[in-house]
Amino acid sequence: MVNPKDHDRIVRQFEQRVKLAKRLNCKRLVGLSGNERDDVSHEQQTEYVVQCLKRLAPIAEANEVILVMETLNPLVDHKGFFLCRTDHAQEIIREVGSPHVKQLFDIYHQQITEGNVIRNLRDNIDNIDHFHVADNPGRKEPGTGELNYTNIFQAIVDTGYQDFVALECGHSTGNHEDTLRATLACLA
C-alpha cells in the first residue's frame, strides 16, 4: 500500500479475496501496509496507504466485509514494517472515513511497539474491529509473559466490544488444549 504502483494489483487481489471470503462467510479481511520505503517521506507513504484504502473501502462496503488493518511491531518480528503504531493506524482510518476499514489491534505487537495496551484499545475502540492475542516475550499464550491478560480482557469487555478476539500465539508452551486453558484462566 505504500507504493501506488502496487495499488491496481492490491485492488484486484482484494476483489478476489472478498469473493472467497463471502463463500466462507468470513466478514473480516486482514490488510497490511507493507514495509517502509526509504525513497519517500513517511507522510507521503501515509497518503499512499490512504489512497489505496479509499479504493478498497467501496469494495468492502458493497460486499459487507470489514478490512482490518494490522499494525505490526518493527522492533522484533517485522523490521521495516510501515504501519506499526495505533495512533498512526487511527489517523489513516479516520482519513479513509469508511466504517468498513478498521484496525486489527494485535496486543502482542502493540505491547512491543508502544505499550499502553489498555489505554490505546479503550481510546480507539470505535475504530478497532478485531484483536489478536499473544503474550510478550515469546508470542506465547496469555499468562506466560509481562502482559496482564486478566485486566486486558476485562478492559475489552468494558468497552462494550462483542466481536472477535483471536489467539495468535504460535509459540505456545504446551498443546492447543493447554493454550486454551491458560487463556480461559485469564478471563476470570
Q: Which three cell numbers stand for residue 86?
A: 495505533
> Annotated catalytic residue: which of 61, 70, 95, 141?
70
* Residue 92 grid cell: 489513516
Q: Which of 15, 64, 91, 168 is catalytic?
A: 168
Residues ≥6 apart with Cβ < 8 Å to 42: 36
For residue 127, give the C-alpha cell: 475504530
Instruction: Give the number of C-alpha atoms closer than 13 A to the C-alpha of residue 91, restricted to the C-beta side.
Output: 11
Q: Whole-angstrom Cα distance, residue 99 to residue 64? A: 10
Query: Known catalytic residue: 15?
Result: no
168 annotated active-site = yes
In sequence order, the 6+-apart residues with CB closer than 8 A to the CB of 141 are 134, 135, 167, 169, 172, 173, 174, 178, 179, 182, 183
Strands 28-31, 128-133: pairing kind: unpaired
Catalytic residues: 70, 168
